[in-house]
C-alpha cells in the first residue's frame, strides 16, 4: 500500500515536471504525452500525393453531387418525381443534402391529389406578332383577325397570370382512356392548389399574311424558328413567332407550369398545309415531318382540325352529312397522318358538334376525344368518346366574355391591347 502511494506521488511529480530535462530517465513509465507534442513528434509525415488525390476525389464527388441535386430539382419541378429520385441514386454522393432532397421529393409526391373537376381548355389562333401590320385602321370596327386572334404581347401577359392562378399545362391526350368498359377519365395527380389546363392552337398553316409567322422550321442547331415579316420590310428569324415559342420560353423559366413537359395541342387542317408547307409536295411534306417531330420532342402533340375546315355544303355545320364528313376525315387521314403521325384528338372546325350518324365517321377513324367551342368549361363522358368545350382567347372573348375570362383565367384589362386594335365585332 505504501509502495503504491510512493509510485503515485512519483507519477504526479513527473506529470508536474514534464518538460524538464531529467524526465527522460523515467520515460519507461507509461504516461500520456503532454498535449501538443504528440502530432509533431509521433505521426508519420503525410504523403502529399495521397492528400492531393483525396482532395481531388472529394472535389469530384462534390461536383457530381451538386449536378445530381440540380438535375433532381429540375425534374421534381416538372412533376417527374420517380425520375428525380433516380437522379439521386448514386450511393457515392449520398449525404445530408441528398437525403433532404429525397425527403422533399417523396413528400411532394405523397401530397398529390386527384383533380376531379371539369378540366378547362383554352385555345388560340396563331399570334399577331406585329399588330400594326394587321390593324392598319384602328377606327372602323373589325371582326376576323381582330375577333378570333390574340397578339403575341397579350399572350406574354396572359401566361404569368395563368401560372399565378395555379394552372398547369396538361396533356389533352392523357385525360381519358378507352377501357373494356368504355371511355374513362384518368386520375390527374397534381400538388394541392394546382389546376390542369389544356391549351390548343388552331390551324397553324401560316397562310395569314403579314403580321403573322410565315413559316416554322428547324435550324442547323435543331431549334424551332419562325420566319416573320417585320414592319421594316425585313424578315425576322425568331424562336417565339407563335404560341408554341412563347409558351416554350415561359416554361423554360417556370418548369412547373407544364405537367411532365407537356405544353399543348396543335390542331391542324389539311387544305392549307401546315407550318407554311404543302402536304402534297414531297420536299415540303418532309419539312412538315421534321417540324412536327421537333414539336413533339418539345412537348406538343397534334389533333385533327378537319381537312377542309368547311362549314357549308353539308360539312361541319347544320345538315352535315355522312358523305361529306367521311370524305373530309378520310382525306385528313390520308394526307396529314403520314406527316404528323396518328392522333385520337379531334378539334372540330368552328367547334361544331357533329351529330349521329355523321359523328360515327369521326369515331370510326379512331378519334376518341372531341372538342367543341363554348364560353364555359364543360366536360362530357360518353361510352365511346369524351367531349370537352374550348374557350377561345381573342379580341371577341376579351370584349364580350370579359367576366368569364376575368373569373377563370386572367385580368382582361391588364392584357387586352385596346389601343392597338380597332373596336371588335363578331
Taking the least distance from each CB to Zn ion, the nearer of 154 and 203 is 203
Q: Which of 188, 241, 194, 193 has the alpha carbon at shortest distance from 214?
A: 241
The residue among 200 and 399 lying less far from Zn ion, judged by its C-beta, is 200
Task: Kindly write down the DSSP assignment for every residue of 157-191, as one continuous string.
Answer: HHHHHHHHTTEEE--GGGTEEEETTEEEEPP-EE-
3-state secondary structure of 297: helix
336 and 359 Cβ atoms separated by less than 8 Å:
no
Kind and range of the H or E run holding 345: strand 345-347
Q: Which is nearer to Zn ion, 101 or 203 (CB)?
A: 203
DSSP secondary structure letters along 29-72: S--PPPTTTHHHHHSPPP-HHHHHHHHHHHHHHHHHHHHHHHHH
Considering the complex, what minimum distance in angstroms separates the CB of residue 260 from Zn ion?
28
- Residue with nearest beta carbon to Zn ion: 202
Helix (H, G, I), strand (E, B) or coil at 306: coil
**What's the min distance (Å) between Cβ of 344 and Zn ion?**
19
Are residues 302 and 293 in contact, defined by beta-carbon separation less than 8 angstroms?
no
Under 8 Å between Cβ of 151 and 127 = yes
Query: Based on CB atoms, which residue is closest to Zn ion, 171 or 203?
Result: 203
Residue with smaller CB distance to Zn ion, 173 or 202: 202
* Distance of closest approach, residue 236 Cβ to Zn ion, in angstroms: 25
**∠ Cα 317 320 326 (to 5°):** 125
The number of residues in the chain equals: 426
Residue 138 or 311 with smaller CB distance to Zn ion: 311
In angstroms, what CA-CA distances link 323 with 37, 108, 288, 303, 356?
A: 101, 52, 29, 22, 12
Q: Measured from the CB of residue 271, what is the shortest distance to Zn ion in angstroms?
A: 11
d(CA 223, CA 245): 10
Shortest Å, Cβ 305 to Zn ion: 6
**Closer residue to Zn ion in complex, CB, 171/202:** 202
379 backbone dihedrals φ, ψ, rounded to 5°: -120, 145
CB of 349 to Zn ion, least distance (A): 5
CA 222 to mean position of chain CA atoms: 18
Q: Considering the complex, what minimum distance in angstroms separates the CB of residue 187 from Zn ion?
A: 31
DSSP conformation class of 124: E
CB of 315 to Zn ion, least distance (A): 13
Q: End-to-end alpha-carbon separation of the chain, Å?
A: 115
Burial call 239-272: b when 16+ CB within 10 Å, e when fewer: ebbbbbbbbbebbeeebebbbbebbbbbbbbbbb
Comparing CB distances to Zn ion, the nearer of 327 and 350 is 350
- Closest distance between Zn ion and the C-beta of residue 312, in Å? 15
Q: How far apart are CA 38 and CA 131, in angstroms?
A: 82
Judged by the rule CB under 5 A, the positions of this chain that interact with Zn ion are: 202-203
Neighbour tally for 289: CB within 10 Å: 15
Rounded to a whole number of angstroms, the minimum distance from the CB of residue 232 to Zn ion is: 31
Q: What's the min distance (Å) between Cβ of 352 and Zn ion?
A: 10
Q: Give the other-Cβ count within 10 Å of 137's Cβ.
A: 8
Question: In the complex with Zn ion, which residue's Cβ is closer, 151 or 203?
Answer: 203
Amino acid at each position: 500500500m505504501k509502495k503504491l502511494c510512493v509510485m503515485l506521488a512519483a507519477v504526479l511529480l513527473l506529470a508536474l515536471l514534464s518538460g524538464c530535462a531529467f524526465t527522460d530517465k523515467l520515460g519507461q513509465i507509461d504516461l500520456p504525452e503532454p498535449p501538443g507534442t504528440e502530432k509533431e513528434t509521433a505521426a508519420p509525415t503525410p504523403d502529399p500525393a495521397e492528400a492531393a488525390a483525396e482532395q481531388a476525389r472529394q472535389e469530384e464527388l462534390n461536383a457530381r453531387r451538386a449536378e445530381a441535386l440540380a438535375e433532381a430539382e429540375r425534374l421534381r419541378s416538372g412533376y417527374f418525381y420517380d425520375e428525380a429520385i433516380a437522379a439521386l441514386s448514386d450511393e457515392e454522393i449520398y449525404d445530408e443534402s441528398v437525403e433532404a432532397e429525397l425527403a422533399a421529393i417523396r413528400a411532394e409526391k405523397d401530397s398529390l391529389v386527384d383533380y376531379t373537376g371539369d378540366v378547362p381548355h383554352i385555345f388560340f389562333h396563331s399570334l399577331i406578332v406585329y399588330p400594326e401590320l394587321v390593324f392598319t385602321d384602328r377606327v372602323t370596327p373589325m371582326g376576323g383577325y381582330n375577333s378570333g386572334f390574340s397578339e403575341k404581347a397579350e399572350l406574354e401577359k396572359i401566361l404569368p397570370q395563368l401560372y399565378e392562378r395555379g394552372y398547369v399545362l396538361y396533356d389533352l391526350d392523357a385525360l381519358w382512356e378507352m377501357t373494356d368498359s368504355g371511355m374513362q377519365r384518368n386520375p390527374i395527380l397534381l400538388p394541392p392548389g394546382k389546376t390542369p389546363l389544356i391549351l390548343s392552337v388552331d390551324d397553324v398553316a401560316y397562310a395569314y399574311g403579314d403580321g403573322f409567322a410565315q413559316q416554322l422550321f428547324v435550324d442547323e442547331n435543331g431549334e424551332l424558328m419562325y420566319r416573320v415579316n417585320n414592319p421594316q420590310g425585313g424578315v425576322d428569324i425568331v424562336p417565339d413567332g407563335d404560341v408554341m415559342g412563347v409558351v416554350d420560353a415561359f416554361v423554360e423559366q417556370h418548369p412547373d407550369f407544364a405537367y411532365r413537359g407537356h405544353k399543348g395541342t396543335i390542331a391542324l387542317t389539311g387544305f392549307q398545309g401546315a407550318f407554311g408547307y404543302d402536304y402534297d409536295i414531297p420536299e415540303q411534306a418532309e419539312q412538315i415531318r421534321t417540324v412536327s417531330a421537333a414539336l413533339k420532342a418539345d412537348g406538343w402533340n397534334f389533333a385533327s382540325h378537319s381537312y377542309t375546315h368547311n362549314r357549308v355544303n353539308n360539312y361541319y355545320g347544320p345538315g352535315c352529312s355522312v358523305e361529306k364528313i367521311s370524305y373530309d376525315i378520310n382525306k385528313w387521314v390520308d394526307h396529314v397522318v403520314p406527316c404528323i403521325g396518328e392522333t385520337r384528338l379531334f378539334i372540330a372546325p368552328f367547334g361544331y358538334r357533329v351529330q349521329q350518324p355523321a359523328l360515327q365517321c369521326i369515331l370510326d377513324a379512331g378519334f376518341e376525344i372531341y372538342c367543341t367551342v363554348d364560353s364555359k368549361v364543360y366536360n362530357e363522358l360518353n361510352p365511346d368518346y369524351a367531349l370537352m368545350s374550348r374557350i377561345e382567347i381573342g379580341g371577341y372573348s376579351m370584349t364580350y366574355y370579359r367576366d368569364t375570362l376575368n373569373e377563370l383565367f386572367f385580368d382582361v384589362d391588364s392584357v387586352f391591347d385596346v389601343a392597338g386594335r380597332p373596336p371588335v365585332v363578331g
